[in-house]
Structure 1
Amino acid sequence: MRIDFTKMHGLGNDFVVLDARNPALAQALPAMDAAFAAALADRHTGIGCDQLILLEPSRAGDFRMRIFNADGSEVEACGNATRAVGLLHGAPARIETLGGLLCATPTNAGISVEMGQPRFDWDAIPLAYAMDTHTMPLAWEDLTNPIAVNVGNPHAIFFVADPYAVDMARLGPLIETDPVFPERVNVNVAAITARDAITLRVWERGAGLTRACGTGACATAVGAMKRGLVERAVTVSLPGGELAIEWREDGEIVMTGPATESFRGSFDPVDYGIPAGSPD
């Protein structure tokens, strides 16, 4: 049996979505592991994506979303993917993730997602040892004193004059894999352009430099708000487009932006060396 997939993106951050809420597909789909996810995500020999998204039934929400980065690692949250599956679902939904329960609602401006409350404690990021996460006493060349935020996954945010002048291809993986971040980290470089506007680039843990990162936009906006650099509602401009981020008075982060379906197709697991419906 061939496996159906939907190719989607949020501001160019692209996904292969497998909907295993369908019992027939769930039975035919091989068990998902890092090797299989990475094979599907490969842009040369697979379908190609930044993240592979697996939808499953859930007792905690309307459905469960599992997220695999391009390197096959399973991660807790992805804001752009949440908007994408919200569009695919077509109605308000409570989505179970490893990072917690997220609520996605279609709006005239795209999909609005309640992303939960940020965490700033060093052991919630997590960091390897205790330190001030508001102004971390660390530097990687010219990138200094980041703020660390967990918004379902870990982020380090550096405020700079020009994010596009930073050599992210070199510094991104260096910071991502630094031992101070035992679960690795997403690396954000941002410039404040107005009291309600931020320009951002993100090196995503396990995916590299992407055109947009929803959790990165949330973490960066909240980090800037925490430092008093911007108001409680901002527009975050990424290479792929813009996201609206609000940090409500009740502590909830709300992200609003577009999502797009690119195309649909199917694949045979045998082409990846995995018999359909086999154990991993």
Structure 2
Amino acid sequence: MQIPFQKFQGLGNDFVILEARDLPFDLDLSRLAQKLCNRHFGIGADGLLICHRESRGDARMQVINSDGSEPEMCGNGLRCFVRYLAGHEDQSFLIETGAGLLKAEFSQKKQSIRVNMGKPVLSPAKIPALGWNETPVVSAPLQVENHSFEITLVSMGNPHCVIEVDQNWSSADTLYWGPLLEMHPAFPERINIEFTQFLTPHLARVSVWERGAGATLACGTGACATLVAGVLQNKLETEAVIQLPGGDLTLFWDQNQDQVWMDGPAQRVFTGSYEEEGMIR
């Protein structure tokens, strides 16, 4: 059986998008995601997005990481998903996600997608994180091996741990500390990590370690969490640019409505079909 797909990327964070109606009802989606996302034996991607046309909004986005796990939300994936749905004119959408119904707008002129990423969650019980009772958790110490990190915890529908680092931080540091922090016993559902340099009140640079995907070029919800953490630490204003390895995102935290908005690009890379041997629809 051949499955049609489209591949999109948002700041280098790449996704394979499938229509749910093209898939057998009993298909193991975790296994399929691992096969499709494999960069040597599959299509290659950070994650799989499945478009469900039956939805409380215009469509429902289901996200599956490259390791087969299913996160609640993915910001870059959401921008790619909206670009997949959009035509060649300005359009607005209401997308059902694991984090609720989210508004999104596609601008043909700017070739960008603006997304309401929802309300940041700061309660450690809801992130979830163990060992803290106070809300919010800001610049709190966390011991990992022989090193103590100061962490700020934010959920944008999925859990994030923002850590300020200096200019000497390297990608090798992210690769070493990322998995140790992701799997730390304080985070029962694992966690995403943003190693962050706060450069000015309107600019931060982030190295990302994503739960279930590892080091990636960008993370939309991580950029949102970084903005919120920066504001809580008095390091950022409520509107700032977050620099990621794959490019920049513009973020705004509307504190009156307690909503975070993200603005950035997404692009179709190619389309094709994937042949799954032995699959019968």
2:7 is equivalent to residue 7 of structure 1: yes
Q: Retained in 2: the 8 A contact 1:42–1:70? A: yes
- AA matched with 1:144: F
Where 1:146 maps in the other structure, the secondary structure is strand
Match of 1:215 among 201, 213, 221: 221
2:49 is equivalent to residue 49 of structure 1: no
The aligned counterpart of 1:75 is: 71
Segments ≥4 residues shifted beyond 6 Å? none
Tell me by how many angstroms 1:41 deviates.
1.0
Structure with more strand by fraction: 2
Match of 2:158 among 140, 153, 156: 153
2:55 is equivalent to residue 59 of structure 1: yes
Where 1:122 maps in the other structure, the secondary structure is coil
2:269 is equivalent to residue 262 of structure 1: yes
Unaligned runs of 5+ in 2: none
2:179 is equivalent to residue 173 of structure 1: yes
Residue-by-residue CA offset, 1:124-173 (whole Å, 9 max, x unaligned) = 11013434412323133555120000001000000111274361111100
Percent pairwise identity: 37
Q: Which has the larger displacement, 44-53 or 126-135?
A: 126-135
Q: Which has the larger displacement, 103-112 or 252-261?
A: 103-112
2:140 is equivalent to residue 136 of structure 1: yes
Tell me by how many angstroms 1:2 deviates.
1.3
Q: Retained in 1: the 8 A contact 2:218–2:244? A: yes
Q: Retained in 2: the 8 A contact 1:163–1:199? A: no
Q: TM-score, normalised by structure 1?
A: 0.92
Residue-by-residue CA offset, 1:224-278 (whole Å, 9 max, x unaligned) = 01111111100000110000000013111000000010000001221xxx5133x
Q: Which has the larger displacement, 225-234 or 121-130?
A: 121-130
- AA matched with 1:125: I
The aligned counterpart of 1:275 is: 279
- AA matched with 2:130: A
- AA matched with 1:118: P
CA distance in 1, matches of 2:49, 2:170: 32
CA distance in 2, matches of 1:97, 1:253: 16
Change (3 A) 1:160 1:142: farther
Change (3 A) 1:98 1:71: same
CA distance in 1, matches of 2:132, 2:237: 29
Match of 1:238 among 231, 234, 244: 244
User: C-alpha root-mean-square deviation of aligned residues, in Å?
Assistant: 1.6
Residue-by-residue CA offset, 1:59-90 (whole Å, 9 max, x unaligned) = 32111101011100011111111111111111
CA distance in 2, matches of 1:190, 1:275: 44
Tell me by how many angstroms 1:29 deviates.
6.8
CA distance in 1, matches of 2:193, 2:55: 33
Unaligned runs of 5+ in 1: none
Q: Retained in 1: the 8 A contact 2:139–2:233? A: no
Q: Retained in 1: the 8 A contact 2:118–2:156? A: yes
Match of 1:87 among 71, 83, 86: 83
CA distance in 2, matches of 1:217, 1:12: 14
CA distance in 2, matches of 1:46, 1:143: 39
Where 2:33 maps in the other structure, the secondary structure is helix
Residue-by-residue CA offset, 1:90-142 (whole Å, 9 max, x unaligned) = 13111111121121111244000000000110111101343441232313355
- AA matched with 1:52: L
The aligned counterpart of 1:114 is: 116
CA distance in 2, matches of 1:114, 1:163: 33
CA distance in 2, matches of 1:119, 1:257: 22
Q: Retained in 2: the 8 A contact 1:149–1:156? A: yes
Match of 1:251 among 253, 258, 261: 258
- AA matched with 1:59: S
Change (3 A) 1:163 1:187: farther
Q: TM-score, normalised by structure 2?
A: 0.91
